[in-house]
Amino acid sequence: MENKKINSFQQTELSIREPDTQSPNDGLLNNIKQNIFKWHRTIGLITITPVIFWCLSGLMHPFLSHWFKPEIARQVLETKVVDQQKTEISIQDVLTKSHIDEFKSFRFVEWNGKTYYQVKLVDDEIRYYDTSHGNEIKNGDKLYAEFLARYFLDDQKSILKSIKLQTEFDQQYKYVNRLLPVWKVSFNRADEMDVYVETSSSRLGTFNTTSRKVFLWAFDNFHNWSFINRVTNNTTRVTIMVIMLSVISLSALSGLLIYGLFWRRFGKLTNTHQKKGLRKYHRQIGIATAFITLTFGFSGGFHATRKLEPNRLPEMIFDPIIRVNDLQTSSLSLSIDDERFQNLSVVKKGKEYFFQVFYGDSEDKASETIYLNANDGSVWKNGDNEYAQYLGKKFLAALSDEKGLSGECCEEMGERRI
């Protein structure tokens, strides 16, 4: 009996003294652990909405871009041989007749069975002149835009709803399409088709049906958060996105610390047996997806910050002014292979001008571009290669110069700044 009392007294004494053996650091550590748990849950709740929006909109992109993408009859304008017999007046005479002394470029275009000179003026206005008599076609650029849109759609019957010139990218015509300015041609059809065409190159920018417009709206708002731009500016939008992506990365890192590296220490604060459903496997799922979440956050932040960089693409255009009097050789007197001739333009290298002749392929010859001196009509040997190098040096100089195509870079290559 006495031994039992002694044992019970010893147990009571041990239980009383046991807390005294615990180090003060253990209490601090437990407090830190609980705070990390708390912040991990809080961060998860904060980021759950943007993560869902980003993931769902990101999944929509490949499906709607590849498997559910609307189709169009043609995406490229077929290049044909230009009938020289329809050209009865030279480009020099056409411009002189219209009292035009300077321009930027010209080429042949054909629609509705007729051939026209397409001339880009100094103010970037595009005009059209009949090659048989040199008369200007009123609203020529708009008419040609409608022709191209109907050609790409293979639709000559649908009623034209509207046609307008677009000089900026927007929600429906994104920067990824690159081409500007373009004509937005809308048709009264069941699919509410909009076709974007660039008349200066006869290229298709893009085309949008009703379903694609809805997708573009959803992707732009849920993935790019463009709705923020309506309230503030692009810098604020990108900053908010980077903050949210940083929080997502912190959530993944804290999850790795809690459920991965230091699980033996943190595991005592949780009771896995009381959890039900997917919560029971929260640790395993979190560890499995932690690396993906980190790459998601870092790559998203990288792409978001890239949007803060200035767009240098508009500067990468070499559009020198051509003086009509500097083209001494008539465009009608050039030595051209009529059977392969597809188009004609003019380029400037330094202080020299050259007619740029485009040839299509034939049974024994491949397609090529040759250059004829505008003063005497002589052939510029290896002209296409040398002109490409000339442009490459010019654009490289523009990229390395904050002022773009500066006078110094042009003088280095022997060109007088216009």
Tens-place pLDDT, residues 346-400: 999 999 999 999 999 988 889 999 999 999 999 999 999 999 999 999 888 887 7
**DSSP state string for 345-399:** EEEEETTEEEEEEEE---SS---EEEEEETTT--B-TTHHHHHHHHHHHHHHHHH
Which one, of 386, 337, 335, 331, lies nearest residue 361 by Cα?
337
Please give the backbone phi and psi of residue 251, each rounded to the nearest 5 degrees, phi first.
Answer: -60, -40
Q: Does the N-terminal peptide bond of residue 181 adopt cis geometry, omega within 30 degrees of 0?
A: yes
Query: What number of CA atoms fall less than 13 Å from residue 50's CA on the CB side?
Result: 20
Query: What number of CA atoms fall less than 13 Å from residue 181's CA on the CB side?
Result: 13
On whether the CB atoms of residues 133 and 87 are closer than 8 A, the answer is no
Chain centroid to CA 324: how far? 36
Nearest-angstrom CA–CA distance, 225 and 229: 8
Tens digit of pLDDT per residue, the chain (418 long)? 445 544 544 444 444 444 445 455 555 555 655 666 677 677 777 778 888 888 888 888 787 777 777 889 999 999 999 988 889 999 999 999 999 999 999 999 999 889 999 999 999 999 999 999 999 999 999 999 999 999 999 999 999 999 999 999 998 999 889 899 999 999 999 999 999 999 999 999 999 999 899 888 988 888 888 888 888 888 898 888 888 888 888 777 776 766 655 555 555 545 545 555 555 566 666 666 677 777 888 888 888 888 777 777 767 788 899 999 999 999 999 999 989 999 999 999 999 999 999 999 988 889 999 999 999 999 999 999 999 999 999 888 887 765 444 434 443 444 433 3
Name the 3-class secondary structure at 146. helix
Residue owning tokens 């990365």: 249
Q: What is the pLDDT of residue 282?
A: 62
Q: What is the pLDDT of residue 410?
A: 42
The fraction of the chain above a pLDDT of 70, given in percent, is 77
Nearest-angstrom CA–CA distance, 168 and 353: 32
What is the reported pTM? 0.78
Nearest-angstrom CA–CA distance, 394 and 415: 10
On whether the CB atoms of residues 194 and 214 are closer than 8 A, the answer is no
And the tokens for 142? 């708009």
Q: What element of type H or E holds 37?
A: helix 24-62
Please state the domain extents for the chain: 84-208, 327-412
